[in-house]
Chain A
Amino acid sequence: MAINVNTVYQTVLLILNKEQRGYMTPVEFNKTGAQAQLEIFENYFDSLNQQIRIPQTDTDYADRVVGLDEKLSIFKTSGNASYQNSLFNLPSQFSGSGKQQVTTTPANTTALTLNYTINAATASQISDGVTNVFVNSILLSEFEYSISGTTLSFASQPIAGNAILVDVYPKEFYRLGSVTYTNGAYPIQELERVDKGQLYHLLGSNLTKPSTTYPIYTYEGSRIKVYPTTIVSGININYIRKPLDPVWSFTAGTGAYIYNNLTSTNFELHSADQTELILKILLYAGVVIQSPEIIQVAASQVQQEQTNQKS
């Protein structure tokens, strides 16, 4: 689903170099790539807001709201909120800093073995992080494996002798979605978000005061205060995580950078956004190499694409 970082970089270089306009270094590409990705990502929310107010067609693949939801679904996640000092903390993020490459035992796949133990990462780090699994330097799709705790299980027998590599990235909180409360076998209840101005009126009214059936919460200082205050556990938070920053990693070759897919990080955006992503990077590249022509062409293309998407 992800957009290959090398494909994007090579395309950008191809367009830039076509008429010997200039060159974009990997460092410049990584910075502008992260910027372009975030720009497109943030635009999802505004587009969703616009599209949701417009009647959509029921035809397959033509519903823009569904399309945007598909793009956002990559970043939708959830986690339990921990209770501390009368407040709930947001789901814990990966405790490491940056990408963490962890090893498995054994390092290579073996015959007739589907399950491998992941070392150098805890179960909570794995569950709180984004995990990429490579076998023989090939990134596996999420359908090809599952991870429970620190056990990596392949869906089918891998070829014996292939190297296993597991990357764990931090899940960074981006936007708060719905908050739910689970208590045993009772129906899961969604909490309503209120601000402080409403809160005191709600608490003071017997008809609308929060109950365990209909709890509410306030959101301040990146923490959640749940009412009624008898609720001290069972809070689950659905949220949007931030896309991982792309990294085009390399090893130094003879006069050239050689792409290293094992240490690189792909763009996480939906592959439908590859064109827009390249155009946006080109836009920044035009600024970097001081080429007004590139800026103009890229900006025009981006504008045309957005008009097409929203009209």
Chain B
Amino acid sequence: MPRPDGGLITETNRQYYAGAQQKYITDAGVGQTMTSTFDTDLEFGSSDPLNGLYGLNNFVFYTSPDALTWTELTPAATVQTATATENNAASNEVQLAAANANILVGMTIYGNGITGNPTGRKVESVDQATFIVTLDGTVTIPGAATTPVLFQFDSPFTMVGNIITIAASLLLNSYLKIQLKETPIQENHGSYEYTRLTDVIDNFLIAYVGAGKLIPSINRTDVIFHAKRGLQEFSYDTLKSIKSQELTINTSLSVIIPQDYVNYVRLSWTDAYGVQHTIFPANALTTNPYASPAQDNLGVPTQDSFDSNITATSQIEAAWASNDPRRISGAFTNQENITSDVLSPGGFYELALGQRYGLNPETSQRNGWFTINEREGTFSFSSDLANRLIALEYISDGNAYDLDARIPKMAEDALYAHISHGILASLAQTPEYIVQRYKRERSSKLRNAKIRLSNIKLDQIVQVMRGQSKWLKF
């Protein structure tokens, strides 16, 4: 397989498939750096697993003497033990029994009685001839005349702007490795399908803006605006940007609308075999009132001490929640159980038998109902869906997270056309025929993008068309 050679692929096979990047150390010493060349930016909280911020790291950093056995670079991995031969009162000098070339400037001293070292005294200098370690403050080392102490880097490496700086000393001919965690590796898989929005913006400024072009100059913020708006518009009907969540409906019969929700595509419950059953909206049957003010005897809303209406519990919602959906669908096997519903409002002696011809397909389904409660920001479900596992498929606008800010390459040209048209249409001196030209270009490129992204494959069409020879029985 080729290595990145100036094409659009910038990661090695190993970076892409294994999420790992390795470096061979040709110069021993401290303060060395390793630059990450992953497409994914490194995220760093701490290099100490005992630090609460360590969980923010999206990578693990390893060292190895032979590229076979890897050890994570943590404070514990940098520990150097020594024996202090002096046991004086507070002093910023520690006399060691023997030289240790691996005790380095920047290390923190720990030991019996100073364990934890709340002052975090660090090594300022080491005299390998006299074995005296000078600290940046005083410590008192209690105990015997020979007291074991240890030195370690509390932060063996740091990361800024994808450059990892290693405080610990590295051995000649050893190895370093950045190993991405599972989630960033998975998020990166298949990313070649997309172009980042930042690239689109930069490309547009290079190719479409400049002296002698239709757009001689434009603020970058204008381009950013039109690019993001274009991504939003494309997300609604062109891009394959359907998101989904697997949720369980609890006894409150509601789930919170996702943070990046713009509109729903489908809600469905899943049976024991993983087959989805579409849940239908109950728009024609009920609603969730946005406000339900408490009223007095004359029907006038009442106010609290802050002059705002007092909100009462919605009776409509309560009634819908207690409703047995079979009353709507007519899915009773024993009609005598029906007392009062949409099918037989008259009760037992006015059964629905013989009153209908066929079924009303809009209401005759057993997969339950949902409504959107705008007041509470939730999806509310009918009672037969309690404890069901559901899949909520929805669309976002492509701008919620940085990772979303990318566009399928199939629609990249359409986005350029969208930005061009948006800018030219808003410039005062643009002739109308130019605006119209770009409007048509945008329209046709967007149509092309939709066709491309609809994934119509010949084999699948052939398979579907094979059904045309079936005999239909009426």
Contact = CB atoms under 8 A, between A and B. Distances in A.
22 contacts: A52-B211, A183-B160, A184-B35, A184-B161, A185-B35, A185-B162, A186-B41, A186-B162, A192-B219, A192-B220, A192-B221, A198-B219, A207-B224, A207-B225, A207-B228, A207-B229, A207-B399, A208-B221, A208-B228, A214-B201, A214-B221, A216-B221
**Chain A at the B interface: SS class:** loop
A55 interface: yes
B140 interface: no
A186 B161 CA distance: 6
B228 to A, nearest CB: 5
Nearest to B160: A184
Contacts of A216: 221
A194 B221 contact: yes
B292 to A, nearest CB: 32
A223 B437 CA distance: 44
Contacts of A214: 198, 201, 220-221, 224
Interface in B177-204: 198, 201
B62 to A, nearest CB: 19
A202 B399 CA distance: 17
Interface in B211-255: 211-212, 216, 219-221, 224-225, 228-229
Interface of A: 52-53, 55, 182-186, 192, 194, 198, 202, 205, 207-208, 213-214, 216
Contacts of A205: 225
A214 B223 CA distance: 11
Interface string B363-401: 000000000000000000000000000000000000100
Contact of B211 (A53, A183, A185, A198): A53
A244 to B, nearest CB: 31
B76 interface: no
A184 B221 contact: no
A213 B220 CA distance: 12
Contact of A183 (B37, B161, B399): B161
Interface of B: 35-37, 41, 160-163, 198, 201, 211-212, 216, 219-221, 224-225, 228-229, 399
Contacts of A194: 219, 221
A213 B198 contact: yes
A104 B219 CA distance: 49
Contacts of B35: 184-185
A190 to B, nearest CB: 8
A55 B216 CA distance: 13
Contacts of A208: 221, 224-225, 228
A50 to B, nearest CB: 11
Nearest to A183: B161
A24 to B, nearest CB: 42
The winner among A182, A184, A205, A216 for most chain B CB atoms within 10 A is A184
A119 B163 CA distance: 36
Contacts of A184: 35, 160-163
B161 A185 contact: yes
Contacts of A207: 224-225, 228-229, 399
Nearest to B159: A184
Nearest to B37: A185
A182 B163 CA distance: 12
Contacts of A55: 212
A207 to B, nearest CB: 5
Contacts of B41: 186
Contact of B163 (A185, A198, A213): A185
Nearest to B227: A207
Contacts of A185: 35-37, 161-163
Nearest to B228: A207
A194 B224 CA distance: 14
Contacts of B216: 53
Interface centre among A52, A192, A208 (most CB of B within 10 A): A208
A101 B201 CA distance: 48
Nearest to B229: A207
A101 to B, nearest CB: 38
Contacts of B198: 213-214
A6 B295 CA distance: 98
Instruction: Name the residue among B212, B224, B228, B229 with the largest chain A CB count within 10 angstroms.
Output: B224
Given A185-B162, A186-B161, A214-B221, 13 more contacts: A52-B211, A53-B216, A184-B161, A186-B41, A192-B219, A192-B220, A194-B221, A207-B399, A208-B221, A208-B228, A214-B220, A214-B224, A216-B221
A6 B79 CA distance: 69
Contacts of B37: 185
A64 B216 CA distance: 18
Nearest to A56: B212
A68 to B, nearest CB: 13
Nearest to A190: B220
B215 to A, nearest CB: 14
Contacts of A52: 211
Contacts of B221: 192, 194, 198, 202, 208, 214, 216
A208 B222 CA distance: 8
A213 B198 CA distance: 8
Contacts of B162: 184-186
A135 to B, nearest CB: 36
Contacts of B212: 55
B404 to A, nearest CB: 13
Nearest to A193: B219
A116 B328 CA distance: 96
A46 to B, nearest CB: 15
Contacts of A186: 41, 161-162
A214 B197 CA distance: 12
B61 to A, nearest CB: 15
A205 B224 CA distance: 12
Q: Which of A53, A202, A213, A216 gathers the greatest number of chain B CB atoms within 10 Å?
A: A213
A233 to B, nearest CB: 10
A205 B219 CA distance: 15
Contacts of B228: 207-208
Contacts of A53: 211, 216
A208 B198 CA distance: 13
Contacts of B211: 52-53
Nearest to A186: B161
**Top 10 closest A-B pairs, CB basis?**
A184-B161, A185-B162, A183-B161, A184-B163, A52-B211, A192-B220, A185-B35, A208-B221, A207-B228, A184-B160
Nearest to A214: B224
A264 to B, nearest CB: 40
Nearest to B222: A208
A73 B41 CA distance: 35
Instruction: Find the residue from B162, B163, B219, B399 having the highest chain A CB count within 10 A.
Output: B219
A218 B110 CA distance: 49
A202 B222 CA distance: 10
B221 to A, nearest CB: 5
